[in-house]
Amino acid sequence: MVLPLAITGTGMVTGVGLSAPASCAAIRCAIDNFQETRFMDSGGEWIMGCEVPLEKPWRGRTKLIRMAASAITEVLQGNTDIVPEQTPLLLCLAEQSRPGRVFEDDNQLFLDLQQELSLEFHEKSRVIAGGHVSVAIAFKHARELIHRLRIKHVIVAATDSLLVGPTLAHYEENERLLTSRNSNGFIPGEAGAAMVVESAAGKTGGYLICEGLGFGVEKAHVDSEEPLKAVGLSAAIRESLGDAGKNERILDFKITDISGGQYAFKESSLAFSRIDRTHREEFDIWHPADCIGEVGAAIGLVMAGVLKSACEKEYTKGSSILAHCGNDDGKRASMIYLWQT
């Protein structure tokens, strides 16, 4: 029997807010912070982006650490029962294959983050360099830590930035970036996010619960030349529903990592049409990247944070939510969330 996870705390640093409440309020109001960056496209125009406005103009590796530290500090301050030495930290980062990565040694980045926080986390802590699907992988590991090792709390954190010269050059060359010469692309951003997860057993009151996880691989990914049929994503959604012991009829709306470009919207629509057999008048889709840009590995945690805030403030379209993410290499992940009252 798979036991669900309760999300009991969130922290967030984005281009529209330096805390989870501020970021979620801005996203709810559809406020963005898209501005000209210091990078120029091949047409000689400034690239638009969404930068996190920290107190100093940190860049690269230092900024990644600072964003993660700020988000983790927020969740620690929100739950004084957490003992870091007894709490594993699962740190989500960009895929190692992504061009423009500003660090090479993931483990050293983790150690430097602990030094920045002046804390040491549980020996079962680990780095998950999985890009967009990192959050689902982290939840899978968190389940094992909580339900097999009887660990009370697990912190899942992420930090990432696409506002890096080589990264932007790669995506512009592959016509993925929104520029003066390409309207079918995304706006780059950056973010740090964190959340506390624990067992949902015995929880009372309002909690966002992750009930199901699913994974798949799409052969017709965005960089392939194969016709898109959304087989990988639909398989991930089916697996997450099966993991939760539910069918698609319970779903009220979905939230995704879509940040721009026709491919992602088409894939999301095709995948859901493959599994949905329910007559619906509407099925809303949320995509927070509309406000914060493409933030890489942090997007999964931002999505969960937005859902938690929306459910607490009662402006969602229902209590059962489908969430899905995908990487450029075809890896797909799906999560079934439930607002438990």
| Distances, alpha carbon 21 to alpha carbons 10, 17, 40, 288, in Å | 9, 8, 33, 14
Where does the pLDDT of residue 248 fall: very low under 50, low under 70, confident under 90, or very high at 90 and above?
very high
Per-residue pLDDT, 204: 78
CA distance 207 to 162: 32
Q: Beta 89-92 vs 154-161: how paired, if at all?
A: parallel
**Is residue 107 a contact partner of residue 71, using CB atoms and an 8 Å limit?**
no
* pLDDT tens column, 171-193: 999 999 999 999 999 999 999 99
Q: How far apart are CA 319 and CA 70, in angstroms?
A: 30
**Model confidence pLDDT, tens digit, residues 19-45:** 999 999 999 999 999 999 999 999 999
Average pLDDT over residues 62-90: 97
pLDDT at 159: 98
Q: How far apart are CA 280 and CA 116, in angstroms?
A: 49
Give CA–CA dist 294/33, Å, rounded: 12
Residue 1 confidence (pLDDT) above 70: no
Predicted structure pTM score:
0.96
Give tens-digit pLDDT for 197-212: 999 988 878 999 999 9
Average pLDDT over every residue of 113-126: 98
pLDDT interval class at 3 (50, 70, 90): confident
The number of C-alpha atoms within 13 Å of 180 and in the hemisphere containing its C-beta is: 10
Instruction: Please name each of the domains of the chain with its CATH number.
Output: 5-199 (3.40.47.10), 212-340 (3.40.47.10)
